[in-house]
Amino acid sequence: MAVCVAIIGKDNSPKFLSSLNPDEELCFQYKILSSLDIVEEKIHGVNRATDNRELFLGLLYALETHKIYGYVTNTKMKFIIVVDSSNIALRDNEIRSMFRKIHSEYADIICNPFYIPGEPITFKSFANNIKNIMTGTV
Amino acid sequence: MAHSAIQNSFDLPQELCVKPSTLVGVSGLDTLNNAIHKAIWEAFTGNRRVERAPVSFKLISNAHEFPVIKPKRNSYDWYIPKGILKKNWMNKHLYEIPAVIVIFYELDWNDLQWNEKMIECASRVQSMRAALEGRNTRITVVLIQNIIPIPTGEDILASERAVALCASCELHSQSLFILPIGDHLNGYAIRLENAFFEFAQSYYHNEAKAVRSHKDQLNKNTHQYLYVRHQFKMAFHYELKQDIMTAHKHYSHAYNNLLEIRIVDTNALEIRMVAGYINYKLCKMLFALNLPRDAISHFKNHIERFKHRIGFHELTFEHYAWLSKQFQFFGDVFDETVKLGLPAVQTQHPGMYYQQAAQYAITRKIVCYELCAKVTTYPQPDPLENFAQMEYYGQRPWRAGKISQDIPDPQLESNGIQALQYLEKQVNHSNLIITLYGLAISQFKTYRCPRTRKHLVLQMADEYYASQDYSKSLTLLTHMLWDFRQEKWWSLMSHIMNKALKCSFLTANIQDYMLLSLELLGKYTNISLDNKKRIYENFNRVLKGEIPFGDPDLPHDMLQKAIIIWQPVFHSSQLKVTVDMTNITSCIETKARFLSRFYEVDQKVTVEIYIRNTSPFMITFSRVSVCINSPVFTSEYAVNSSTISLDFPSNEVKKFEIQFYPDPNDILKDIQIGNINVEIGHPGCKLELKFTSSCDTKGTYPELLHFKYSKDVLNFDNIRPLSTASIVPRSSKLEVSFQHKQPALLGEWYEVYVQIDNKEYNSIDNLEVLLASIEEETPSTTQVSVNSNGIVRNLPLSLDVKKKMGAGETASTYFHLRVHKVSVKNVQIKITYFLNNDNVPVISTKTESLLISVVQPFTVSTTYTSKLMMDINKFYVDEEFGIIPAISILSPWPIIIEKTSFEFSPSVRQVEKNIVSPLHKMKLNEGEVGNELFLACCDRATDQNVTLGQYTIEWRRADAQSITTSTITIIGCPVLKVPLKLSTVLPAHGTVRTPTVIEYMVENKSNHLIQLDVNVDASDGFMFAGFKQPQAKGVMKLPDCVRPSNISVK
């Protein structure tokens, strides 16, 4: 179970953010912002991975309380998942499949003619679907 | 003094942090009075570079007293240690007990008073030995000699006396050294130093061994502390010996032994402290051994182990102070190693440890506020007064050395705690935190983490806020806003701006206060409407010159202070605040555009200004103006507010239009929309907002914005700004027509007639017609002139034309053009003039272009014939041939050939003189061909085609006067040489059955004798009449001999 999911645009501006506990949202935002440094380095840095097909970036930050994972699409949209450090049930594979589900949700939303690419995503159904992915009910 | 030491009691002691170096005591040097001694001392102590042995020297006077050696203990059975590490122990071995004592003594081998001096030296050695009673310090003697020594073994006196001296001093012969005072003092010093260092190493090795020998006598029940202490001592000795591997081994033993000790309330602090010390040494060694991963993992385990051992609840802050310091020290060690060349990475660098240290420092502060709030007095008697005299590290001053586990005196204990709490309350936590953040920020910057760095800067700003340094906090916050704006993290922005607004209120920074208010009122911020309303009201209060209300959650005393600072702000009668709105996403959005990319100089320029108010409240402006920048100066145009009201209800977009005539000086230049200035308030208190019109379109997709449904009548989002326009000359109403006969012929002066009709309503002046440019390659193939036989002129060429024209009048001019290449030429005519307007004459221009295609007038092809009119493709030397040039006309216009001529090249001879061409004055139409014939003869043979000469044709158009001359080079065939030339002389006619004499001329052209065999055969129509065989049968032909032979035939 993830505690927070964020979708960040290619210009590094937030497009969508959902967290289980709304009180912590501000703190999550700061954490996600910091983790973007690592994402940027992984995408553009000197030692970037040569395999372009691998979208999953792996663990970005392991803080005392939380672990942050990253995923980047070919169009440089970034997906971030924050997991509680105490949650050891989630392994890389689960996180990976969670990212894939988010990616397919995102692809659906891009196909929606009412969504303007580049704008923040405000659809209720999308938020619900993401919540379900976070809580693992899908 | 003592109190500050207690407050910082978690700092590492200095003796722990220094890099241990071997201590060598120096005696017998009088550095104050003796120049030689001073030079020696400086050779040893000065200029200590890295490559020199790690030795530190200490001057020891004769009366020096060394620390008393403790009596040797035979058994540890009854010994109960009072603590783990003694405070003075490291200092003692670092600075007080030398590993080697060097006694300098001035003595030459051939000294006159050798015996006396030898005895004195021996007594010095003896007294030093007595002072060091019981220690294993190595004593060495260095003789300072003025005579340069002879190599060992040759000076018998020297070796004898050396043995004697060693004997009388009871010294090993290897402990005696000679130091000649000469040129190479430094070299000798380094060699001596290395020798001392070797002695010292063996001394420390032995010391460590001595400590190890106690091990058997210890038992685990009562001597757990000693297990730690002894391992630590051994490790330290090995460190002094510079044996880092072994030192590391013993330190880790010490650390593991320490972990085995049961932790109770009374020893928790001591164990934590000592664990920190040993961990520090361990990490330092691991980094030095190039094992950074091990160092990091050891540190993490260390923290993991002690993180939850908080100890006394009342002194929780001590635990966090300790944790914070641990992280800070690790960061320091890490950073030092990085400076020595260890590569760190983005996810593992010193900054992260500083950050963690800062976080623990914050926890320390919070805990301190919780626990120490009630403490107001320092207890009497002072429970901490023995702090400086404590024997062991990490013990409580009020029960130092008491090992029993029960708490001795509850009153004393609580007094002690109260004293510590009181002191903790005095600590300036914010300073500590800010320092740590500063360290972390610089590290994160180095390791390319700009966003993390920003987050840290914000935390630093929070800390400044907490320490009531609002102006610094405000500076940091406003600096960070820019980056967040760039990446559109609006919710973070709102959070930061709220804080910044508080800071600007508390510092009465009116400029930032107004700016932040405007920004917070915008549509992107996610703060509640109530909050926005409060901000809006305060904003209006400031405009009215009243002090705004502070944030409701600010404490009362801070509000009071703020109001006092605000008061002087409004004292000045004219308050004008100018704010640069570039890059600010405020609640007022502006766009401005020219309606067209180009404006003619006599047209009105129209600028549209759109202003939108995205705040939920009405905003009223007092003035709206726009600056237009031309290359020379800036002019400001204000909006006429009488037609459109400047009240902006929420989410309203209004359009303003400004019109003006451009300056004729700006023709062909760009004008730009500069700032859009919006003023709010009244003259007494005015807020001026300057918007830069160039809004960045980066990140927005204009084509997608059309999807945005907008209720606005004026669709603000879809307006694309156009901030530059060019002023162009007015378009002219002159009509230009050209008369010419296309196509132009190659090489002729081609006349173009230009007619200009004035269709303007007014008369014009200063008319100027310029032949501006001809589309041209280089080298130029075109020439221009003003008349057909005139001089060639350069471009641009001004054409003759009358200067003034009334309305409806016509002017004309012409120009000539000669082209030397078949092509299509684009000719541009530029007309400039002043139009006599009602007021100022307006300069106008008009450009016309004309396409002229150029064709060849004719082609010349040449054929060659023999004298018998047969086509030939080779010539023979001395044989005449005909040249027939054929001129075939390609021009659509008839051409008259005026004259043709053939100029032969030197190798070719002209046969006829005074020939008259049949083509003279002949008119040829398109498709017709004119021929003529020239006879010529070549003198020399060549393999190549021989150049026959220049064929010149003078021609003109049938309807033109000017004659054009075209010259063509005629190339013939190869010229061959035949050795024999045969020619016949025939009568013009013969009569039937009458003999006719035919004469054959045979000529030898070669340089050789030629033997000829001539046979004549008659054809069917003839028969021989006379000799059938010529006389010349079998004749020899000499060179250049011509021999006629007559043959009669009928």
- Give pLDDT tens digits for B498-531: 899 999 999 888 888 988 898 888 888 888 888 8
Q: Please give the tally of structural domains in chain A.
A: 1
Q: What is the DSSP letter of B93?
A: I
A chain contacts of residue B491, beta-carbon cutoff 8 Å: 14, 25-26, 29
CA–CA separation, A35 and B315 (whole Å): 35
Model pLDDT, residue B1050: 56
Q: How far apart are the first and last CA of chain B?
A: 158
Contacts of B126 (CB under 8 A, 6+ apart): B169, B170
- Give the model confidence (pLDDT) of B643-668 as tens digits: 778 888 888 888 888 888 888 778 78
Instruction: Flag whether pLDDT at B1033 surpasses 50.
Output: no
Interface test with A, best of B346, B454, B484, B523 (most A CBs within 10 A): B346
CA distance linking residue B519 with residue B689, whole number of Å = 12
Mean predicted confidence (pLDDT) in B994-1008: 78
B875 pLDDT tier (thresholds 50, 70, 90)? confident
Nearest CA in chain A to B487: A13
Exposure of B264 by Cβ count < 10 A (0-12 exposed, 13-18 middle, 19+ buried)? exposed
Tokens found for residue B659: 């019109």
Cβ-Cβ contacts under 8 Å, A37 against chain B: 346, 448-452
Which pLDDT band holds residue A50 (cuts at 50, 70, 90)?
low
> Predicted confidence band at B1034 (pLDDT cuts at 50, 70, 90)?
very low
At B82 the pLDDT is 81
Q: What φ, ψ does residue B557 adopt, rounded to 5°?
A: -65, -35
Of B813, B815, B777, which is closest to residue B796 (Cα–Cα)? B815
Instruction: Measure CB to CB from residue B451 to each of A25, A26, A36 and give the nearest one.
Output: A36
**Over chain B, what is the mean pLDDT?**
82
Q: Roughly what angle, to the nearest 10 degrees, separates helices B185-213 and B224-240?
A: 160
**Inter-chain CB proximity A13 and B701 less than 8 Å:** no
B712 has pLDDT over 60 = no
Cα separation, B905 vs B873, whole angstroms: 19
Look at residue B123 and tell me whether its pLDDT is greater than 50: yes
- Using the Cβ of B347 and the Cβ atoms of chain A, whether some distance falls under 8 Å is answered with yes
Segment B336-351, tens digit of pLDDT: 998 888 888 887 889 9
Rounded CA-CA distance A117/B1043 in Å is 109
Q: What mean pLDDT comes out for the span B718-729?
A: 80
Judged by CB atoms closer than 8 Å, whether chains meet at A13 and B488 is answered as yes
User: Could you give the ipTM of this predicted complex?
Assistant: 0.90
Q: Does B492 touch chain A (CB under 8 A)?
A: yes
Selection from B82-86, B382-386, B987-991 with the highest mean pLDDT: B82-86
pLDDT the model gives residue B64: 77
Averaged pLDDT, B435-448? 90
Q: A12: which chain B residues are within 8 Å (Cβ-Cβ)?
A: 487
| CB-based contact, B696 to chain A, within 8 Å | no
- Full residue range of the structural domain in which residue A21 is found: 2-135
Structure tokens at B269: 């602090």
Cα B887–B888–B894 angle (5° rounding)?
Answer: 105
Q: What DSSP state is assigned to residue B175? A: G
Please give, rounded to a whole number of angstroms, the shortest distance from the CA of B840 to a CA of chain A: 53
Alpha-carbon torsion (B103, B109, B115, B117), positive or negative: negative
Across the interface, do A12 and B455 touch by the CB < 8 Å criterion? no
Percent of chain B with pLDDT over 70: 92
8 Å CB contact of B452 and A11: no
Q: Which residues pair with B975 in a beta bridge?
A: B875, B942
A11 CB neighbours in chain B (<8 A) are 487-488, 699
For B357-383, how does the pLDDT look when each residue is reduced to its tens digit (9 = 90+)? 999 999 999 998 888 888 888 887 777
Place B977 in a pLDDT band, splitting at 50, 70 and 90.
confident
In this complex, the residue of A26, A36, A116 whose CB is nearest that of residue B495 is: A26
Q: Which residues of A touch B (CB under 8 A)?
A: 11-14, 25-26, 29-30, 33-34, 36-38, 41, 45, 61, 116-118
Residue among B1030, B1010, B1022, B1031 nearest B1050 (CA): B1022
Residues 6+ apart with CB under 8 A from B647: B618, B619, B620
- DSSP string for B655-675: EEEEEEPPPGGGTTSEEEEEE
- Structure confidence at residue B569 as a pLDDT band (50, 70, 90): confident
Averaged pLDDT, B390-410: 71
The angle subtended at Cα B1008 by Cα B1004 and Cα B1012, nearest 5°, is: 55
Q: How many CB pairs under 8 A join A and B?
A: 56
Contact A34 B452 (CB under 8 A): yes
Residue B425, pLDDT above cutoff 60: yes
B807-845: per-residue pLDDT in tens?
A: 888 888 888 888 888 888 888 888 888 877 766 677 778
Task: Indicate the pairing of strand B842-855 with strand B744-745.
Answer: parallel
What is the Cα–Cα distance from B967 to B964, expressed in whole angstroms?
10
Confidence grade of residue B707 (pLDDT, cut at 50, 70, 90): low
Give how far A40 is from chain B: nearest CA, Å: 9
Determine the residue of chain A that is closest to B352 in CA distance.
A63
Of B491, B495, B704, the CB nearest to A117: B704
pLDDT at B158 over 90: no
Cβ of B451 within 8 Å of Cβ of A117? The answer is: no
Compute how many other C-beta atoms are within 10 angstroms of the C-beta atom of residue B652.
Answer: 17
Share of chain B above pLDDT 90, in %: 10
Inter-chain touch A13–B699, beta carbons under 8 Å? yes
The average pLDDT across A69-86 equals: 90
User: Tens digit of pLDDT for each residue in B887-901?
Assistant: 898 888 888 888 888
The DSSP annotation for B70-81 comes to PPPPS--TT---
pLDDT tens digit sequence for B573-617: 677 888 888 777 888 888 888 888 888 877 788 888 888 888 888
B401-439: b (≥16 Cβ within 10 Å) or e: eeeeeeeeeeebbebbbbbbbbbbbebebbebbbbbbeb
Residue B630's CB is within 10 A of a number of other CB atoms, namely: 17
Q: For residue B986, give both structure tokens.
A: 């025939």
Taking phi over 0 as left and psi of -120 to 50 as alpha, with beta for the rest, B1008 belongs to beta
What pLDDT is stored for residue B699 in this prediction? 46
Where are the extended beta strands (E) located within A9-119? 14-19, 56-62, 66-72, 78-84
Interface check B451 vs A, CB under 8 A:
yes
Contacts of A118 in chain B (CB under 8 A): 699-701, 704
Q: Give B705's contacts in chain A (Cβ within 8 Å).
A: 116
The pLDDT assigned to B693 comes to 64
Retrieve residue B185's tokens.
């003092």
Residue A18 sits at φ, ψ, to 5 deg, of: -140, 130
What phi-psi label fits residue B385: left (phi over 0), alpha (psi between -120 and 50 degrees) or beta? alpha
Q: Read out DSSP for B713-740?
A: SS-GGGPPPB-EEEEEPEEP-EEEEEE-
Nearest to residue B304, comparing CAs of B266, B259, B344? Answer: B259
CA angle in degrees (0–180, nearest 5) for B528-B529-B532:
95
Res B792 pLDDT > 70: yes
Q: Is B538's pLDDT higher than 60? A: yes
**Interface contact B448-A37, CB threshold 8 A:** yes
At A88, which CATH number?
3.30.450.70
Which pair of structure tokens corresponds to residue B112?
A: 């006159």
What average pLDDT does this structure show over B330-334?
93
Binned at pLDDT 50, 70 and 90, residue B698 comes out as very low
